[in-house]
């Protein structure tokens, strides 16, 4: 495959060298197009030696070959890593003041930008608007990783690892091209699967999964919570990542061992830590604005204290506890299902239920499915050692009308894969 690797001027440009070597080892022909600022970080001889191709930055190089147009016309894939705030601003404005931005205008193949910058720059409204503009035109902008930045700063804005960039970019052209580091491209794309046999039917999709249980503060010490460990939500996130998705996990108070599982998992997920229902709602809506699928697996508190004092509520001997007034929390799942942050978005919910005098677990699940309006609802019985905190699970998958469309049982990872099988059928 003919790949153009754009490199803009940021300290993360050194990772472009690793990405170049990785793509070449996989058998792709790679031409590097740096900006003038990029060559302040990595010299042209390095790119030329590793690519075996000439390196230029100006539109007036090789005028007879009209390379400022020809390069983009003949490429199968364009990757820009790192993509600085300046580069994305120029691309969003349609500027063509060097060879890289001119090539971006001429390219008709998939274009992937991997941003890298300080958190304040990534979060700036101008940058967010430029990213939205580019995505609206069909450019695939990878979410930056969170971690150590230049100097002592940490936060979102770190360039993802070269392996992750390559995996996500190649999957846009053909999921069968995605293989282990250093492997040759797969020659027989009869089914979308990775070298280790995992399906890649979510390749290139953006997925948001909430997990864990929210906590509502009663005072600075106490809270209203639930028994969710987050295991099922984490299993969903990791299963989606294994199937090629770009995953954001919104984690609410995960059990300690589950947190370790997320951090040490073999597939990368962006993790947003939250505490309360309000924080989870804000995080899911922010991440879900550009997601293909949102899965609400977190156990969200239905109510919160109307007021939270700044000091601990004291126990007074001989007096009973003061009453705590509760108010209703927003119904995040219903909001997502009815508003649809994206027109073609698939929304999935969970219903952790117990049977009672008014109906069975499935009866309550069906009522919730009709009320919430989500595309799918996974209903599971909880209590008496089932559901919360266990290694296994059993769910009935309902559609929005409350009709059964699937059953799944086994480990929480097996349940997760069964649910993704159902979701994949709904994706355009």
Residues in the chain: 428
Task: Let me know whether 226 and 358 are in one domain.
Answer: yes
Domain for residue 333, yes or no? yes
Are the C-beta atoms of residues 41 and 16 closer than 8 Å to each other?
A: no
pLDDT on residue 385: 54
Is 259 within a domain?
yes
CATH number at 155 reads 3.40.50.1950
Same domain, 291 and 163: no
Assess whether 210 and 173 both reside in one domain: no
* pLDDT computed for residue 417 by the predictor: 94
pLDDT tens column, 355-411 = 888 888 899 999 999 999 999 999 988 755 555 667 788 899 999 999 999 988 889
Which residues share a beta bridge with 207? 247, 293
Helix, strand or coil for residue 325? coil
Task: Check residue 358 and give its pLDDT.
Answer: 87
Residue 71, domain extent: 2-177
Predicted confidence at residue 190, as pLDDT, reads: 31
How big is the CA angle at 138 (ends 134 and 140), to the nearest 5 degrees?
75
Q: Is residue 290 part of a domain?
A: yes
Q: Give yes or no: residues 161 and 262 share one domain.
A: no
CATH number, domain containing residue 334? 3.40.50.10300
pLDDT digits (tens, 9 = 90+) for 252-293: 998 877 766 665 555 567 888 999 999 999 999 999 988 999
| 243 part of a folded domain | yes
Last residue of a domain, one of 133, 156, 177: 177
Query: Of the residues 226, 253, 329, 380, which is catalytic?
Result: 226
Question: Number of folded domains in the chain?
Answer: 2
Residues of the chain under the 70 pLDDT cut: 60-68, 148, 150-152, 174-199, 259-268, 383-389
Residue carrying structure tokens 């004092």:
309
Q: Is residue 46 part of a domain?
A: yes
- Reply yes or no on whether 226 is catalytic: yes
* CB < 8 Å & 24+ apart, contacts of 187-195: 192/244, 194/242, 194/244
The reported pLDDT for the residue numbered 196 is 40
Residue 422: the pLDDT is 94
Beta-bridge mates of residue 212:
252
Angle between helices 99-106 and 67-74 (to 10 degrees): 50
192 DSSP assignment: -
Same domain, 241 and 348: yes
């Amino acid at each position: 495959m003919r790949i153009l690797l754009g490199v803009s001027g940021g300290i993360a440009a050194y990772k472009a060298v690793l990405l170049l070597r990785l793509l070449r080892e996989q058998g792709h022909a790679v031409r590097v197009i740096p900006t003038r600022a990029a060559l302040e970080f990595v010299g042209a001889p390095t790119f030329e030696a590793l690519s075996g191709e000439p390196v230029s930055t100006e539109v007036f190089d090789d005028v007879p070959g009209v390379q400022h147009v020809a390069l983009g016309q003949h490429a199968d894939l364009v990757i820009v890593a790192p993509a600085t705030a300046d580069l994305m601003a120029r691309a969003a404005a349609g500027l063509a003041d060097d060879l890289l931005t001119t090539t971006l205008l001429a390219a008709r193949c998939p274009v992937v930008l991997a941003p890298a910058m300080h958190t304040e720059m990534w979060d700036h409204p101008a940058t967010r608007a430029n990213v939205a503009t580019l995505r609206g035109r069909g450019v695939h902008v990878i979410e930056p990783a969170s971690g150590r930045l230049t100097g002592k700063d940490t936060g979102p804005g770190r360039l993802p690892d070269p392996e992750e960039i390559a995996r996500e970019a190649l999957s846009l052209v053909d999921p069968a091209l995605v293989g282990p580091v250093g492997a040759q491209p797969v020659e027989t794309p009869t089914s979308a699967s990775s070298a280790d046999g995992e399906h890649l039917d979510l390749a290139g999709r953006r997925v948001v999964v909430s997990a864990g249980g929210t906590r509502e503060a009663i005072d600075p010490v106490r809270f209203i919570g639930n028994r969710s460990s987050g295991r099922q939500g984490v299993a969903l996130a990791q299963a989606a990542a294994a199937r090629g998705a770009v995953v954001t996990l919104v984690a609410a108070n995960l059990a300690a061992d589950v947190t370790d599982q997320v951090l040490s998992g073999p597939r990368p997920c962006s993790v947003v830590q939250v505490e309360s229902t309000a924080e989870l709602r804000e995080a899911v809506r922010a991440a879900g604005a550009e997601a293909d699928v949102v899965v609400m697996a977190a156990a969200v508190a239905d109510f919160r204290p109307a007021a939270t004092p700044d000091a601990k509520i004291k126990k007074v001997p001989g007096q009973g506890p003061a009453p705590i007034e509760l108010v209703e929390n927003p119904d995040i799942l219903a909001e997502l299902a009815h508003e649809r942050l994206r027109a073609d978005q698939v929304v999935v919910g969970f219903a952790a239920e117990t049977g009672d005098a008014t109906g069975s677990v499935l009866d309550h699940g069906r009522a919730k499915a009709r009320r919430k309006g989500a595309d799918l609802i996974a209903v599971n019985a909880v209590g008496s050692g089932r559901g919360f905190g266990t290694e296994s699970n059993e769910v009935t998958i309902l559609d929005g009308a409350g009709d059964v469309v699937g059953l799944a049982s086994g480990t929480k990872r097996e349940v997760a894969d069964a649910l993704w099988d159902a979701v994949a059928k709904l994706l355009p």
